[in-house]
Structure 1
Amino acid sequence: MSRGGIVPEPIARLPWRVILLVVAIGTFGQVVLYSAAGGSLHPWALSQGLRFYVFVAGAIALSYVPERVWRAGAIPAYGGLVVLLVFVELLGAVRGGSQRWLDLGFIRLQPSELMKPAIVLACARFYDMLPAGETRRFSAIWPAALLIGVPAALIMKQPDLGTALMVCAGGATIMFLAGIPLRLFVGGGIGIAIAAPLAVNFLLHGYQRNRVLIFLDPESDPLGTGYHISQSKIAIGSGGIWGKGFLQGTQSHLDYLPEGHTDFVFATMAEEWGLIGGCLLIFAFLLVIRWGINVGQNAGTRFSRLTAAGLSTTIFFYVAINLAMVMGLAPVVGIPLPLVSFGSSAQMTVLLCLGILMSIDRENRRRVRW
């Protein structure tokens, strides 16, 4: 027991500041969804809130899982998700022109979302098993590249460019942190830049190619492919410093802003809460990410250090890509704003990352205490 015997010690040792901060972000997201629905709990805010608090409870439960379990299960979990991605290709449900879900009856599962933390765990486990002296050799590169490339290719097939990029970014982050020479990343970046025009013309689907072209020239089709980003910019700009006020947004309430409850929810929020509200939301996310990085810095094993840093940067990629997307600084790739956008997939993934981070943090506290 602790705190005068009132609160049991296992509960008191949870990182409550971060948990309450995450709850505040999620609750604010439900407020935004309430407004996006015109002042109604249906169809988004209520269901989002119920799932959110269940997932928060799940994240707290995951914090009690020992670190050795994550280490032992990293590769098997990765292999299982690759098999599920193959099943998606063979048996997956089609929705919105994409084949990304497995309909299990009681739940509609999107394995590609779970692959985002799984690729971090798998790559961290690979470099944890690799002797430190082998890190700069070719034998440290091609297995990790294969671990990343197989699920990324399967996800691109669905097609889901945004998730495939997130999987590649998460795996590449672990490779970089593990000590792969910087010159290889520079060379890879140059190679990608050279191959990008060919990929845009021959590998991407038509709608994906149009999104890239609209990003390069936003005004070329303002009423067609560029409509989303044009209306998003208008919504963000019209909010000004302080915003129009709660339930006073016009772009979302008058249906000028498409997907104002999912991918472009930040624009819906910024119109009503202004620059101040947007900056406070971004600052809250940065505090969560900073905590995750600190967990990695205090970790006692290579696996936990790489895992904590990789999961923290996964959350960062979610936030950064979505914000760049809605502001016109990156092509629209379908990455939601975690804990705020409507939908359970990204919410579940981010809270899964949080649960694993809390598990590593608990291990750090135990090690320091001993």
Structure 2
Amino acid sequence: MTSLQQPAAASVAIIRDDAEALDVARRIAELFKPGAAERDRERRLPHEELEAFSRSGLWGIGVPREFGGAGVSRVTLARVIAIISAADASLGQIPQNHFYALEVLRVNGTPEQQRRLFAAALAGQRFGNALAEIGTRTANDRTTKLVKDGAGYRIQGRKFYCTGALYAHRVPTLAVAEDGHQYLAFAERNAPGLTVIDDWSGFGQRTTGSGSVVFDNVPVAAEDLVSFQASFERPTTVGPFAQILHAAIDAGIARAAYEDALEFVRSRSRPWIDSGVEKASDDPLTIQEFGRLAIRLHAAEAILDRAGRLLDAATAAPDAETVAAASLGVAEARALTTEVSLAAGSKLFELAGTRASLAEHNLDRHWRNARVHTLHDPVRWKYHAVGNYYLNDQLPPRRGTI
């Protein structure tokens, strides 16, 4: 049995506070990091690692304290995701929609739904997602139907970009009821008619399982429906909450690329012939570029923390002003983490040299992961939202894509 393997009956840890969450994240990241390059190269799905990840208790840290969880701050949650993403960016992304579903449940669920589904998360159930669709006019259009069937409902449709569904116990699904209202249906993964297809072929984030889910009249109980639409009909944290997790993933990718660049230049790279030095790490122009990259990375990590603090304030007292402040703060973090993750992944090769491009190192995974993940929503619209607020006093739109 390896250090990641667990007995079938192993219990799920309950993490009690922010400090413990960060400590556990650092320890488990050390287990994930050594095999990350190989998993990416071979597209080996991380079932074993994911089981250890969820049993560590980290998947329960978003459960509020009144329901038995740690209820960690948004600052801490973002840091946890960044730590895991620095070790393995795919493992960092897989629980993103799990935490998103918990946030929708916290904001819109009934007390009974919260009690039952939060308890399931603490017991080790993983929630995936089936939100997005392809082939629609815009990314926000949905055609998946929720149809009344006796005391319950049935889901009919097809989804894509379903990160986490392949590994999930439940698949929270965005479906449109006959009256046009949008619900998040916490469908059982093994429900009849629900098929998860491992057809994700992106060149980055290769082991996230972000493929298709097909719903062929899948039954779902009425008590497993939580309003999704209501998340955006009033000021709530659901939109910026989703976005800060994406920013954290990118921050982790940037950190991984930066640290691999440092290690490679110190141990393997040769100095440029005109530098007049014996070691690549003494090349003055290389030193300068590492300084530039370090400053950008530290700025991105700092603004991610700032966004978390703004989101914590909005969580404690949600209104138009606090939610807008959180949305703008998170948009700023998304802008910087997007750019530094791409820059770090590219700068790695510029500074480390041709040898770093050899397939045996698989260092290109950092840029590939950043390029694919940052396509989630365009950073140019982050700048627009921020600029439009400061220049024209226009509040950002309430949706999950700012």
Looking at secondary structure, tell me which structure has more strand per residue: 2
TM-score normalised by the chain length of structure 2? 0.28
Of the two structures, which has the highest relative contact order with CA contacts closer than 8 Å and spacing of 6 or more? 1
TM-score normalised by the chain length of structure 1? 0.30
Looking at secondary structure, tell me which structure has more helix per residue: 1
